[in-house]
A and B are shown apart, each in its own frame.
Chain A
């Protein structure tokens, strides 16, 4: 999908430039975009080094386990079909906790593990269970307490206050998450499938 989008972005740009007779502007733009991206990456390194370092300390101090304990009761409520002490629940809790802390690298392996465990509870192996659909929806709107990449980008762009987005981001994703969970519960009755 992204391959097509990228290709068509460039194709459309060239067609527009030809019709407007400003093809020479495009070559200037390509090189100015490139130098922008280099400046950006240099700035980004600083923020990423800071946040990934801090998050590593959080990870090693067991903060992930503590947050897991806090969200487990909520998870039990949302995923009624999944045994609350089983491997599937454990992997899902770890995945969501990692997402909350912005530990994307840890979240994906845990998410894949959770899907495998959920599949062992599935009776129709090619059809998604309610729990799987819900897990993906919860992943679509993760509540992030430390949006490290965006904060790094903001500081590299000269923001005077990179952390200002934390509060609106938490509020926004809470609303998105709640809406998604409700929509998922309502839709699961109409989309076929068993449990």
Chain B
């Protein structure tokens, strides 16, 4: 599994080279965009890390997690991951800040860290997407969209927990 990243890179570069893409120039162009994206998301991450940090240090987060523990225990979601489960549908950059906070605490290669990363990369910011997409064309009645999207989101969280526990048995 650890060679997956070099393999992806070499496959994409070889394919691009065969198709006549100036791979170096294209890479630089994209890399500049990556720099700009990081610059743009930094304020969101900082804002969220401050809020989560304050909430955790004050004991407020433990209290909220205790309120949610019946749900997390029933599904077997590690308690540390719950803030991410709640934040992810609402705000992508907010969720990234929450994920950073979780990884800092449990470590990126722990089972809990891997579950959190899996949830982050397999579900989308549905409230935001629904608002923007329907808003852009003036739809008022969204019918069953939110219900079905939330069902998908919940299925994703449960599946992430089960699949990660199966693959990375400890």
| Chain A: number of interface residues, binned into ranges | 35 or more
Q: How far is the CA of A29 from the CA of B104 in the complex (A)?
A: 14
Q: Which of A114-169 contact B (CB under 8 A)?
A: 115-116, 118-119, 125-128, 132-133, 135-137, 139-144, 146-147, 149-151, 153-154, 157-169
- Establish whether residues B108 and A52, one from each chain, have CB atoms under 8 Å apart when the complex forms: no
Task: Fill in one digit per residue for B48-74: 1 if any A CB lies within 8 Å of its CB, else 0.
Answer: 111111111111100110000000000
Q: How far is the CA of A25 from the CA of B38 in the complex (A)?
A: 30
| Chain B: number of interface residues, binned into ranges | 35 or more
- Establish whether residues A54 and B144, one from each chain, have CB atoms under 8 Å apart when the complex forms: no
- Establish whether residues A56 and B27, one from each chain, have CB atoms under 8 Å apart when the complex forms: yes
B151 surroundings in chain A (CB, below 8 A): 179-180, 183
Q: Which of A10, A126, A177 contacts B51 (CB 8 A)?
A: A10
Closest chain A residue to B129, Cβ basis: A139
Task: Fill in one digit per residue for B1-42: 1 if any A CB lies within 8 Å of its CB, else 0.
Answer: 110110011001101101101010011111101110110001
Residues of chain B touching chain A, judged by Cβ–Cβ distance below 8 Å, are 1-2, 4-5, 8-9, 12-13, 15-16, 18-19, 21, 23, 26-31, 33-35, 37-38, 42, 45-60, 63-64, 87, 90-91, 94, 96-97, 99-100, 103-104, 107-109, 114, 117-124, 126-127, 129-130, 132-134, 136-145, 147-149, 151-153, 155-156, 159-160, 163-164, 167
A-B contacts, 13 of them at CB < 8 A, read A9-B55, A20-B59, A33-B46, A41-B42, A57-B16, A63-B12, A128-B142, A157-B100, A165-B117, A168-B118, A172-B118, A172-B163, A175-B156
Residues of chain A touching chain B, judged by Cβ–Cβ distance below 8 Å, are 1-2, 5-6, 9-10, 12-17, 20, 22, 25-26, 29-30, 32-34, 36-38, 40-41, 44-45, 48-63, 105, 108, 111-112, 115-116, 118-119, 125-128, 132-133, 135-137, 139-144, 146-147, 149-151, 153-154, 157-173, 175-177, 179-180, 183-184, 187-188, 190-193
